[in-house]
Structure 1
């Protein structure tokens, strides 16, 4: 069918929706010989009039939209790097939030980063009726670009969790995460308030949140007119006892030589390993060294209990579910990239320097 006037085109679309119950943008564009953008504009006009309800990739009659919500709960899938440390409790918080909205959640663990996420999403779409996805793909490495290209073409509502879109083509992808810059700065300001002036940073060599936390540590030191030498940034590698002693002994020696009295360690398991190494070497926490962890997963189990930056897990879950719901039921809304400020849970591992 050749190009027709807008009013006639929208009348055709409305009749198609009423007759079929639902329509897809791609199908209508082919039928009417227009672009998908033209069809999306028509659907937006019809939706404003209340004639149709937009869904991802097309539109349905208002009655059909109500039936979908009433008769078949919306189902979202969450693909996480692990169901262990931190991610498992986050998935549970998402499940609780989804259930409160009458939605169903399918959670699966990515066996590895990269292509595995794509394979899992493909399998879920083939075997289950998934309406939208919460994804946490890799943020670095050679597969990052491939993942971004795939996300840009994925024909399903996606919200990135604890990840930010890394490609300009992902401008229409929503995301929610915690602000690592703010989290690290909270720790530095807390130590400064306790009287510390030489504050170090320790983290794994790589990881999704590490660069932002390094930046937060560095910015806070500069804002407070404190020294921020690069050699006060230490790398934690292995958590096993044999490697821990070999790796952390020199770190503690270097901190002592530089007069470091406080340190932020990303995340809690690495902070606990550092505390064990301190105990082995007779370094008393917090008298000799104040330690702050990150994630607040294991912090309360430490001896002494560990002050730790706490990402707002329940707020993350709430916003993630809201964003994917918005993308499902109101796809015309603009994408949102949300960063939430963490909080600091203060315990006994920090005190004024001796």
Structure 2
């Protein structure tokens, strides 16, 4: 089987960590790849802060400890269960992999394809593969899945960190460590931006088929209350165009009528793909973005690639993966908290950013508040 780039990066990092300093040509020879490939890998890892590069040589970053002395997670195997390895979760996985590599740990991935009934078996597969702790983003689509397929997580025999998933307050799952994006804050950023541009209360167009979509919906209601606004009309139900063309057309027509009637001049749309397809269909109906409708997408995966680059809320996906992996390594290496007390569990909430482009009629380039961590 052909070696993946991630596996090759792991081997490269291990070589540099062992030697302290190495030339790119030497790394290419040891890895069995061309100098061009080795150079590209080094540039990618240096850009992530995993290596230092100077004049054809690479070295282990000083801030990561002395080479050969062992990293905090040296030799650990971390498991990661994700509902998908593409779109949103690709960045989460990348952040976790980078953090694991910095710590000297190996990350093993399994994907559930949003089948929550298979989460437990796939996680047990990670344990069988040697995982000493797990990062878990269950394949839940709604609260009913969390209730039906969630309790087993609290019974795992190894440390576990929830990724981009919240637990019912007071439930056994609520006692686990977790790292999430604060989607409510992201929605508030979007609404404040649109209202600051002089628009009336923005509409929400959103799916209802994922924890992120439900969090965006809840955040919309909360943001309206924070801003002292009333909901202009119920949330417009969005669905994937390819899965339900009629449902997608109903959503577009509802937004079209709201714009043409003067009810709305701004909207927040979850997610990027739906937003791009909605903008395309609205254009066919004679509604232009941003001239007739100011629009913000939620997720910022492909929003910048639309014909009219879309302003978007960007959850800190990569940082979610990184913080979660670092927390898991800490749990596996803490060896008991001070004074003999068990270390307190942590709920970390990371703040999204607003990336302003052309779809609101505002000047591009503004970035909202950073994705700093806060405890909740």
Q: Take 1:256 and 1:304, find their aligned partners in 2: how far apart are those partners? A: 21
Q: Check if 1:275 corresponds to 2:279.
A: yes
Q: Check if 1:351 corresponds to 2:361.
A: yes
For the structure 1 residues 165 and 68, does the alpha-carbon distance in structure 2 shift closer, same or farther, using more than 3 Å as the test? farther
Match of 1:162 among 161, 164, 179: 164
3-state SS, counterpart of residue 320 of structure 1: helix
Q: Take 1:246 and 1:200, find their aligned partners in 2: how far apart are those partners? A: 15
Superposed displacement of residue 70, structure 1: 8.3
Match of 2:84 in 1: 82
Q: Take 1:275 and 1:121, find their aligned partners in 2: how far apart are those partners? A: 40
Match of 1:201 in 2: 204
> Which structure is larger by alpha-carbon Rg, 1 or 2?
1
Alpha-carbon deviations, 1:235-269, whole Å to 9, x = none?
A: 10132395444541233113432520000011111
- Structure 2 alignment gaps of length 5 or more: 1-67, 337-341, 363-376
Alpha-carbon deviations, 1:209-231, whole Å to 9, x = none?
A: 233322322233333333314x3
Equivalent pairs, count: 285
3-state SS, counterpart of residue 191 of structure 1: helix
Q: Take 2:306 and 2:173, find their aligned partners in 1: how far apart are those partners? A: 41
Match of 1:319 among 312, 318, 323: 323
Match of 1:150 among 145, 149, 152: 152
Match of 1:256 in 2: 260
Q: After TM superposition, list the pairs within 5 Å mapping 1:268-347 onto structure 2.
A: 268-330=272-334, 332-347=342-357
Instruction: Provide the TM-score with structure 1 as the length reference.
Output: 0.74
Conservation of the 8 A alpha-carbon contact between 2:135 and 2:162: yes
Q: Take 1:259 and 1:342, find their aligned partners in 2: how far apart are those partners? A: 28
3-state SS, counterpart of residue 195 of structure 1: coil
Conservation of the 8 A alpha-carbon contact between 2:91 and 2:318: no
Q: Check if 1:111 corresponds to 2:113.
A: yes
| Greater CA drift, 66-75 or 274-283 | 66-75
| Greater CA drift, 322-331 or 196-205 | 322-331
Match of 1:214 in 2: 217
3-state SS, counterpart of residue 153 of structure 2: helix
Q: After TM superposition, list the pairs within 5 Å mapping 1:180-199 onto structure 2.
A: 180-199=183-202
Q: Take 2:218 and 2:145, find their aligned partners in 1: how far apart are those partners? A: 24
Instruction: Provide the TM-score with structure 2 as the length reference.
Output: 0.70
Match of 2:134 in 1: 133
Q: After TM superposition, list the pairs within 5 Å mapping 1:227-246 onto structure 2.
A: 227-229=230-232, 231-240=233-242, 242-243=245-246, 244-246=248-250
